[in-house]
Amino acid sequence: MGKTFAVIGDPINHSLSPNIHSAAFRELDLDSSYIAYRIPKGELEEGIEGLKKIKIDGFNITIPHKIEMMKYLDKTDESCSLIGAVNTVSNKDGILKGYNTDMDGFLEPFKKKELNITGTKVLLIGAGGAARAIVAGFAKAKAKSITIANRTLEKANNLSEFAKKLGLDANAIRIDDVKDTAKNYDIIVNATSVGLKNEQSVISLEGIDEKTVVYDIVYMPMNTDFIKKAKEKNAIVIYGYEMLLGQAVRAFEIWHNIEAPYNAMKKALLGGF
Ligand code: NAP
């Protein structure tokens, strides 16, 4: 029998996940389908019951359910319990197991481009859910230190404590205090939602050079102001779509237990822009 997958969240109609996964099914001739299913905030429990009733084989979770979904899991893998948020679930005979593929999805482009993380100094802008998975990723890859800059200092402080628990040398500052210090870092990541509406980058990239890695996790539009400023400095750029693709590839492999057709998925994703 064919398998069924979904992405749940709200809003969900602009999700690129159905395109990416459907392209993989076509490429490998799998009898599977993948749908976008809107579940509003406050209706997660009923939504999950519905998915179990139709014997969904697996699903992705996006804003606003990544943390609340933890309550409805029967099992969690290591990344998911460490981060405290879930973006991928498998369903085996009614047993829901949660994973967080954002962390490995974030790291994937570094591997693909053979960019080193070990021993580097990182500036992370933002301290929301995605930033938490990114901190766990930098700890796993053994960065030397991480400065977390956020509009709300308290959230940066909390994330900095989390980073320290994972063994990173960490500190927290306000975004406004980054000023002209970008040049002091090897890797700079935007993990805020700034850029989605074509806003200006929240920090200056003055002084960075062609050795600096600049990574924007905002994937729509592809060329955010942050990315454009990095390109002007000839920095090494990583786009948000690369993380999106990385997490989708990892989710595919969890569900299907076979290697994901990376190029077909990438082509489908880029076609969505
Ligand atoms: P979140 O938990 O809501 O966190 C949002 C972050 O953005 C917070 O740090 C918030 O700062 C900051 N922020 C929002 N508006 C701001 C503004 N005007 N000025 C300065 N900072 C601002 O969201 P999330 O789940 O972490 O997601 C963040 C972004 O990453 C979203 O755009 C999402 O689409 C994207 N994302 C991409 C991928 C991918 O695969 N490429 C994966 C996950 C998420 P405060 O704490 O001060 O509010």
Q: Both 170 and 267 in a single domain? A: no
Domains in the chain: how many in total? Answer: 2
Cα angle, residue 112 at apex, residues 107 and 115 outer, rounded to 5°:
70
Q: Both 38 and 139 in a single domain? A: no
Which mutation among 162, 175, 193 tests ligand 1's pocket best, with the greatest number of atoms within 8 A of CB? 193
Backbone angles phi, psi at 14, to 5 degrees: -100, 5
CATH number at residue 155: 3.40.50.720
pLDDT digits (tens, 9 = 90+) for 189-223: 999 999 999 999 999 999 999 999 999 999 999 99
Rounded to whole angstroms, how far apart are CA atoms 83 and 132? 6
Cβ pair 214, 188 in contact under 8 A: yes
3-state SS class at 216: strand
pLDDT value, residue 64? 93
Which residue minimizes the CA distance to atom 13 of ligand 1?
Answer: 192
Please give the number of the atom of ligand 1 that sits closest to the Cα of 193.
Answer: 32
Q: Both 124 and 215 in a single domain? A: yes
The mean pLDDT value of the chain amounts to 97
The residue-averaged pLDDT of 239-264 equals: 97
Question: Edge-to-edge strand order for the sheet containing 58-61?
Answer: 32-38, 3-9, 58-61, 88-92, 95-99, 75-76
CATH number at residue 43: 3.40.50.10860
pTM: 0.95
Ligand 1 mean position, distance from CA 130 (Å): 7
At 127, is the pLDDT very low, low, confident or very high (cuts 50, 70, 90)? very high
Please give the number of the atom of ligand 1 that sits closest to the Cα of 152.
Answer: 47
At 25, is the pLDDT very low, low, confident or very high (cuts 50, 70, 90)? very high
Q: Both 109 and 78 in a single domain? A: no
At 272, is the pLDDT very low, low, confident or very high (cuts 50, 70, 90)? confident
Q: Both 108 and 124 in a single domain? A: yes
Please give the number of the atom of ligand 1 that sits closest to the Cα of 199.
Answer: 18
Give CA separation, 228 vs 126, 197, 231, in Å.
Answer: 19, 15, 5
Ligand 1 mean position, distance from CA 219 (Å): 12
Rounded to whole angstroms, how far apart are CA atoms 27 and 124? 36
Q: Both 190 and 260 in a single domain? A: no
The residue-averaged pLDDT of 141-161 equals: 98
Instruction: Find the catalytic residue in 3, 52, 55, 66.
Output: 66
Q: Both 81 and 122 in a single domain? A: no
Cβ pair 174, 150 in contact under 8 A: yes
pLDDT value, residue 1? 77
Assess whether pLDDT exceeds 80 at residue 244: yes
Which residue minimizes the CA distance to atom 46 of ligand 1?
Answer: 152
Assess whether pLDDT exceeds 80 at residue 273: no
Which mutation among 151, 154, 162 tests ligand 1's pocket best, with the greatest number of atoms within 8 A of CB? 151
Ligand 1 mean position, distance from CA 47 (Å): 25
Which residue minimizes the CA distance to atom 17 of ligand 1?
Answer: 194
Q: Both 129 and 211 in a single domain? A: yes
Rounded to whole angstroms, how far apart are CA atoms 34 and 31? 11
Q: Is 66 a catalytic residue?
A: yes
By DSSP bridging, strand 236-238 and strand 213-216 are parallel
pLDDT value, residue 2? 92
Ligand 1 mean position, distance from CA 129 (Å): 7
pLDDT value, residue 110? 98
Ligand 1 mean position, distance from CA 93 (Å): 35
146 strand-pairing partners: 122, 170
Cβ pair 252, 7 in contact under 8 A: no
Q: Both 92 and 218 in a single domain? A: no
pLDDT digits (tens, 9 = 90+) for 36-65: 999 999 999 999 999 999 999 999 999 999
The residue-averaged pLDDT of 151-171 equals: 97
CA atoms within 13 A on the CB side of 12: 20
Q: Both 111 and 78 in a single domain? A: no
pLDDT value, residue 265? 98
Domain that holds residue 70: 3-100+243-271
Ligand 1 first shell, C-beta below 6 A? 63, 102, 105, 126-131, 150-152, 155, 175, 191-194, 196, 202, 217-219, 240, 243-244, 247
pLDDT value, residue 255? 98
Q: Both 113 and 174 in a single domain? A: yes
Q: Both 82 and 199 in a single domain? A: no
Assess whether pLDDT exceeds 90 at residue 142: yes
